[in-house]
Amino acid sequence: MSNIYIFFFLDSCMKYMRDGSVIVARLLKGEEFIESVKSLCEKEDFSSGRVQAIGAVKRAVLGYFDTEEKKYVHFECKGELASCMGNIAKKGDDIVVHVHAVVSDREGTCKGGHIVQAETSATVEVFIDVVPGLKRALDAETGLYLLDL
Amino acid sequence: MSNIYIFFFLDSCMKYMRDGSVIVARLLKGEEFIESVKSLCEKEDFSSGRVQAIGAVKRAVLGYFDTEEKKYVHFECKGELASCMGNIAKKGDDIVVHVHAVVSDREGTCKGGHIVQAETSATVEVFIDVVPGLKRALDAETGLYLLDL
Amino acid sequence: MSNIYIFFFLDSCMKYMRDGSVIVARLLKGEEFIESVKSLCEKEDFSSGRVQAIGAVKRAVLGYFDTEEKKYVHFECKGELASCMGNIAKKGDDIVVHVHAVVSDREGTCKGGHIVQAETSATVEVFIDVVPGLKRALDAETGLYLLDL
């Protein structure tokens, strides 16, 4: 019953700079947001931090968590990445990039939710603060991997 | 003429960690956002900073300030906390948590405004930067307690 | 074919404080957001950083970049500045303040996009992190000045 989304992305080739614990990256046209941030974690050897971004996306899948059915409902949108914020944390050997966004269209109408996937249009400008120690663990009640602090 | 909202919240029992001037907290189901941040100020002995959060809220009261009538109009919403940012400052002996949010529903439709109250659903993940020295003072023209810098 | 917007603003007289690389500013009624941030760059002698703000705007012009026609479409809105984030970078001898916002009205309805101009209503509270080294260069494909990292 769930929709299937097929994306073809560029290999990660975003540009970035680092100044201490702050990383600034620019994603190139076609790069996917979540995978690009994960790729940056590998390149810069960190797995935990805070994320903020603006830019534009030509195709994004956002999610809404249905707390009754304990699953995500997905929908698509595109346009300006009007707001984008969240965090990076370890989940076992994997890295979870948990980011929420507001995407706005030509009339300014907004769609908001959890970023499942988002493909860069003209540009996405990302700020990351490396903050050590964030990890996630399964929460039995919600079925979600929540921050384990 | 103003609406009355009655909330019953859990006592504050959020999980958090601190790394220098950065605090990361996870609010538990049922915890109220504004009171939880205030509680964190007490626990960690600070009264001034910057706030950013994402997550989900099962019931939020947002406000819009009517500059003509010099009062807040309130409305309710719930869903993903798509965006949430603001600041913490002293107001006399009290602490003001001034945060604006965008809350999105199952279709991604967004409601935005000033957070009056917001009850955590599955999770709310909060980043705070402790920045010293912020306080508020009454502004005669607007009737609001504005940042006194 | 493009709309003309005429604004009359106060000379910049915002209040601010600085703590290391963090600047907190409060814009006064009538002050324009982009020009005020640029003015702060001059006063505090920096040209590169990250921006976050909340508050209220009595008139904002937001933009949507049409990637087909390679130009911005503009529209107006006003109300709560529910979300506002972006960055500051050099473009030759000039400074570019690239910020996206979500503005919400009395019912909470949101309009999002790139801030072209935004006039402060009751208050706008701005946090800036000075991050050195950001600059922009013309990107031939999009016709935009993108971050040159």
**Tens digit of each residue's pLDDT (9 = 90 or more) over C79-135:** 999 999 999 999 999 999 999 999 999 999 999 999 999 999 999 999 999 999 999
B86 contacts in C (CB within 8 Å)?
Answer: 54, 125
Instruction: List the single residue in B with minimal CA-CA distance to A114.
Output: B82
| Residues facing B52 on adjacent strands | B85, B127
Amino acid C1: pLDDT: 39
Instruction: List the single residue in A with minimal CA-CA distance to C142.
Output: A122
Rounded distance between C-alpha atoms, residue B39 and residue B11, angstroms: 10
Touching subunits of B (3+ CB pairs, under 8 Å) are A, C
Asked whether the predicted pLDDT for residue C7 surpasses 80, the reply is no
Nearest to C82 among B50, B113, B129 (CB): B113
Asked whether the predicted pLDDT for residue B134 surpasses 80, the reply is yes
- The confidence band for C13, taking pLDDT boundaries of 50, 70 and 90, is confident
Averaged over B86-103, what is the pLDDT? 98
**Residue, of B10 and B54, whose pLDDT is higher:** B54
Nearest to B82 among A112, A133, A134 (CB): A112
Helix H or strand E segment including A147: strand A145-147
Rounded distance between C-alpha atoms, residue B105 and residue B125, angstroms: 18
Asked whether the predicted pLDDT for residue B117 surpasses 70, the reply is yes
Best residue of C52, C66, C85, C145 to probe chain A, by most A CBs closer than 10 Å: C85
Amino acid C3: pLDDT: 57
Amino acid C133: pLDDT: 96
Amino acid C12: pLDDT: 60
Amino acid C14: pLDDT: 86
Q: Do C133 and A58 touch (CB under 8 A)?
A: no
Rounded distance between C-alpha atoms, residue C4 and residue B141, angstroms: 31
Asked whether the predicted pLDDT for residue B2 surpasses 80, the reply is no
Averaged over A101-109, what is the pLDDT? 98
Selection from C66, C55, C64, C48 nearest residue C32 by Cα: C55
Asked whether the predicted pLDDT for residue B48 surpasses 70, the reply is yes
Torsion of CA B92, C19, B81, C103, to 10 degrees: 90
| Mean residue pLDDT across chain B | 93
Amino acid C37: pLDDT: 97
Rounded distance between C-alpha atoms, residue A52 and residue C145, angstroms: 20
Residue with tokens 């994960």: A38
Q: Are C116 and C63 in contact (CB under 8 A)?
A: yes
- Give the closest-approach CA distance of A126 to chain C in angstroms: 9
Amino acid B1: pLDDT: 38
Per residue, the 3-state secondary structure of chain B, as one string, reads CCCCCCCCCCCCCCEEEEECCEEEEEECCCCEHHHHHHHHHHHHCCCCEEEEEEEEEEEEEEEEEECCCCEEEEEEEEEEEEEEEEEEEEECCEEEEEEEEEEECCCCEEEEEEEEEEEEEEEEEEEEEECCCCEEEECCCCCCEEECC
Averaged over B111-138, what is the pLDDT? 97
User: Phi first, then psi: what are they for A44, rounded to 5°?
Assistant: -105, 5
Averaged over B103-130, what is the pLDDT? 98
Strand B136-138 and strand B110-130: pairing? unpaired
Share of chain B above pLDDT 90, in %: 85
Averaged over B58-72, what is the pLDDT? 94
B101 contacts in C (CB within 8 Å)?
Answer: 82
Rounded distance between C-alpha atoms, residue C54 and residue B64, angstroms: 13
Tokens found for residue A12: 């990660």
| Mean residue pLDDT across chain C | 93
Q: What is the CA radius of gyration of chain B?
A: 15
Q: Coil, strand or helix: which one is A30?
A: coil
Q: What is the residue-wise DSSP string for C118-147?
A: EEEEEEEEEEEEE-TT-BEEE-TTT-SEEE
Nearest to A123 among C52, C64, C144 (CB): C144
User: C60-83 burial, b for 16+ CB within 10 Å, e for fewer?
Assistant: bbbbbbebeeeebbbbebbbbbbb
Question: pLDDT digit string (tens) for A41-73?
Answer: 999 999 999 999 999 999 999 999 998 898 999
Asked whether the predicted pLDDT for residue B129 surpasses 60, the reply is yes
DSSP summary character for residue C33: H
DSSP summary character for residue A27: E
Residue with tokens 């009261």: B61
Looking at the predicted complex, does its ipTM rise above 0.90?
Answer: yes
Share of chain A above pLDDT 90, in %: 85
Q: Which residues of C sit within 8 Å Cβ distance of A?
A: 50, 52, 62, 64-67, 73, 75, 77, 83, 85-87, 98-102, 110-114, 129, 131-134, 139, 141-142, 144, 146-149
Distance between start and end Cα atoms, chain B = 35
Lowest mean pLDDT among A11-15, A135-139, B110-114, C22-26: A11-15
Q: Do B83 and C83 touch (CB under 8 A)?
A: yes
| Residues facing A60 on adjacent strands | A77, A118
Share of chain A above pLDDT 70, in %: 92
* Vertex A10: Cα angle to A7 and A14 (nearest 5): 125
Rounded distance between C-alpha atoms, residue A65 and residue B122, angstroms: 9
Amino acid B125: pLDDT: 98
Amino acid C6: pLDDT: 56
Instruction: List the single residue in C with minimal CA-CA distance to A27.
Output: C147
Rounded distance between C-alpha atoms, residue B81 and residue B104, angstroms: 7
Look at the pTM and tell me if it is higher than 0.90: yes
- The confidence band for B13, taking pLDDT boundaries of 50, 70 and 90, is confident
Asked whether the predicted pLDDT for residue B82 surpasses 70, the reply is yes
Lowest mean pLDDT among A7-11, A51-55, B14-18, C41-45: A7-11
Tokens found for residue C128: 């800036």
Nearest to A85 among B54, B104, B122 (CB): B54
**Contacts for A92 with CB less than 8 Å, ≥ 6 apart:** none
Amino acid A1: pLDDT: 39
- The confidence band for C4, taking pLDDT boundaries of 50, 70 and 90, is low
Residue type, B45: D
Averaged over A2-27, what is the pLDDT? 78
* Vertex C51: Cα angle to B135 and B34 (nearest 5): 45
